[in-house]
Structure formats: structure tokens, C-alpha cells
Amino acid sequence: MVERNRKMFKLDKRVCRRRDKQLKARYLLCDAKRGWEECTIINVDVASEGMGIKFHTREKIKAGIDIVFEIFISGKLEPINVKGIVKWSKQGGKGFIGGVGLTEGRYKLTKLGKGN
């Protein structure tokens, strides 16, 4: 009974609520010998242990790979650059959806995660 209650009442470690976004972006896989690929950022998640983003792309990307994003924000001349590690990737819609734990530049996305 106690174990079942633990599963029902998981502690949410997010600092802010997850914010759904539709942000134009492109990514570069750090171990690949090809150039930038287009993608769409579909949400920004600010949590106590870090920050993550979820993205949609045409290809499945293996977990554990370092990845760099250029995220284009309307009204800004320069894209936001962030770096992270792919945590997961799975089939979703007409392509793939992946989750990334950010390791560099996450402070640049803090306002996006808070819905600004």
C-alpha cells in the first residue's frame, strides 16, 4: 500500500511549469561529420536539477550524444545557442521527438521557461 502511494504522489521537481513552445531551431550533433539540421523546439522545462528542452526532428538521435542548438526567437536578431546531451528519442508524429538535458547556455532560456 505504501509503495503504491509513493507512485501516485511523485514529487514534481520543476521550478516552473513546463511551457509548450513552437520555436524554430537547428541542431548540430557534436560527433557527426555533417552540418546543421532543422528542428522545432516544442517545450522548455525548468526544474530544480537543471533545464531541458523537447524537440521534434526528422531523424532518431541516439541517447548520450552531445548536441548544440541555435534557437530563433521572434524579435531577436541573434539566435540563442545552447548545448546539451540527448536523454531520449522516440517516434512521434511524422518524425521523432527527443529530450535534451542542457549543459551550457540554459540561463539564456530561463525567461522562456517561465513563459515570458
SS3 label, residue 25: strand
Question: What confidence score (pLDDT) does residue 83 get?
Answer: 92
Question: What confidence score (pLDDT) does residue 63 get?
Answer: 93
Write down the pTM of the prediction.
0.73
Question: What confidence score (pLDDT) does residue 16 get?
Answer: 45
Question: What confidence score (pLDDT) does residue 115 get?
Answer: 47
Distance (Å, rounded) from C-alpha 82 to C-alpha 90?
Answer: 22
Question: What confidence score (pLDDT) does residue 37 get?
Answer: 92
Question: What confidence score (pLDDT) does residue 42 get?
Answer: 85
Distance (Å, rounded) from C-alpha 42 to C-alpha 20?
Answer: 6
Distance (Å, rounded) from C-alpha 51 to C-alpha 107?
Answer: 9
Distance (Å, rounded) from C-alpha 42 to C-alpha 29?
Answer: 19
Domain ranges of the chain: 14-113
Question: What confidence score (pLDDT) does residue 21 get?
Answer: 67
Question: What confidence score (pLDDT) does residue 49 get?
Answer: 52
CATH architecture observed for domain 14-113: Beta Barrel (2.40)
Blockwise average pLDDT, block size 10, the chain, 116 residues:
46 46 88 87 69 81 93 86 91 87 79 52
Question: What confidence score (pLDDT) does residue 50 get?
Answer: 56
Question: What confidence score (pLDDT) does residue 76 get?
Answer: 80
